[in-house]
C-alpha cells in the first residue's frame, strides 16, 4: 500500500516506521517546510493519506487529499469546528474520511468503560465528576481531543451534566465537567475520570506508555479503509 504522510513530526515518523515495517511504501512525507511538493504528486499512486499535522494545517491538508479522491485517516485535534465541511467534501468526492481523537485500541475500550460508568452514576447526585489529562509539552491544544471525547461520554450518560469547561473557567457550574490540562514531559498521555463525594471517590484512568499504540492504530485503520466510502470512526473499525 502506498501511504502519503501529511504531517511528519514525532507521530508521523513513528507511523512511517511502523508502516514500512508492515511492508507498506511511504509515497511522500509532507510537513510545513515542503508542502509545495503536494502539487507534484500523482494521486493515482496514493492509496491513503494519514494526517497527523497541526490544528492550523489540518483542514487544508485533509481538503487537498479528499478533493483528489484520496481516503484520509486523521488524528489531528484542535480543528474540529470544520468537520462538517470535511464530511460534505468527502460525500461530494465519493471517498472516505476517518477521524479519531485517539487511535489506541486501549483508549477506545476506555471510552466505552467511561460511558458505562457514567450511566451507572446518572442517579448518584452526591458525586461530582471531573477530568484530568496530562500530555507532553509539545502538545498544542488543550484540552486534548481524547479528553473532549471522554467529557462528551459523561455528558451523554448523565443528564444533569450539560457541558465541559476548563477547570479554571470563571463560568464553571455544577452542570459542567471541569477539565484540568497539564503539560509535563515526557508524558505521552494520561486521562483520569474522578467521581467524588463526602463518603468516597471513584476513579478510572488510562495511561499510555508510548506513542506506538496510537501510531499502530492509525496504520491498522489505513489498511482497513481501502475500498471503503463515507464517514468512518473507531466504532466502525472495532465493530463495537
pLDDT digits (tens, 9 = 90+) for 156-184: 999 999 999 999 888 889 899 999 999 99
Instruction: Return the pLDDT at 180.
Output: 96
Catalytically active residues are: 135, 139
Q: Beta 190-196 vs 201-207: how paired, if at all?
A: antiparallel
Q: What is the pTM of this model?
A: 0.79
Spatial contact of 74 and 58, defined as CB atoms under 8 Å apart:
yes
Closest CA to 163 of 149, 175, 174: 175
Q: Does the pLDDT of residue 36 top 60, yes or no?
A: yes
Please tell me the CATH code under which domain 2-103+212-238 is placed: 3.40.50.720
Average pLDDT over residues 135-150: 87
pLDDT at 240 (0 to 100): 56
Compute the distance between CA of residue 24 and CA of residue 16 in angstroms, rounded to an integer: 9
Architecture of domain 105-207: 2-Layer Sandwich (3.30)
Q: Where are the domains of the chain?
A: 2-103+212-238, 105-207
Amino acid at each position: 500500500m502506498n501511504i502519503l504522510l501529511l504531517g511528519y513530526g514525532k507521530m508521523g515518523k513513528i507511523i512511517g516506521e511502523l508502516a514500512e515495517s508492515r511492508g507498506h511504501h511511504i509515497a511522500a512525507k509532507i510537513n510545513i517546510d515542503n508542502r509545495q511538493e503536494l502539487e507534484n504528486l500523482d494521486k493515482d499512486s496514493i492509496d491513503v493519506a494519514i494526517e497527523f499535522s497541526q490544528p492550523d494545517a489540518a483542514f487544508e491538508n485533509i481538503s487537498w487529499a479528499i478533493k483528489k479522491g484520496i481516503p484520509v485517516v486523521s488524528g489531528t485535534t484542535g480543528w474540529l469546528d470544520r468537520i462538517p465541511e470535511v464530511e460534505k467534501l468527502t460525500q461530494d468526492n465519493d471517498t472516505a474520511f476517518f477521524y479519531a481523537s485517539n487511535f489506541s485500541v486501549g483508549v477506545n475500550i476506555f471510552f466505552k468503560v467511561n460511558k458505562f460508568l457514567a450511566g451507572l452514576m446518572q442517579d448518584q447526585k452526591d458525586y461530582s465528576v471531573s477530568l484530568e489529562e496530562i500530555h507532553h509539552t509539545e502538545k498544542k491544544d488543550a484540552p486534548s481531543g481524547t479528553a473532549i471525547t471522554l467529557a462528551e461520554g459523561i455528558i451523554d450518560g448523565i443528564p444533569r451534566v450539560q457541558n465541559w469547561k476548563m477547570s479554571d473557567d470563571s463560568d464553571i457550574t455544577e452542570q459542567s465537567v471541569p477539565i484540568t490540562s497539564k503539560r509535563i514531559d515526557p508524558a505521552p498521555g494520561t486521562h483520569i475520570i474522578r467521581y467524588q463525594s463526602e463518603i468516597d471517590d471513584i476513579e478510572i484512568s488510562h495511561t499510555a506508555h508510548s506513542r506506538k499504540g496510537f501510531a499502530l492504530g492509525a496504520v491498522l485503520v489505513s489498511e482497513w479503509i481501502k475500498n471503503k466510502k463515507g464517514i468512518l470512526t473507531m466504532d466502525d473499525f472495532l465493530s463495537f
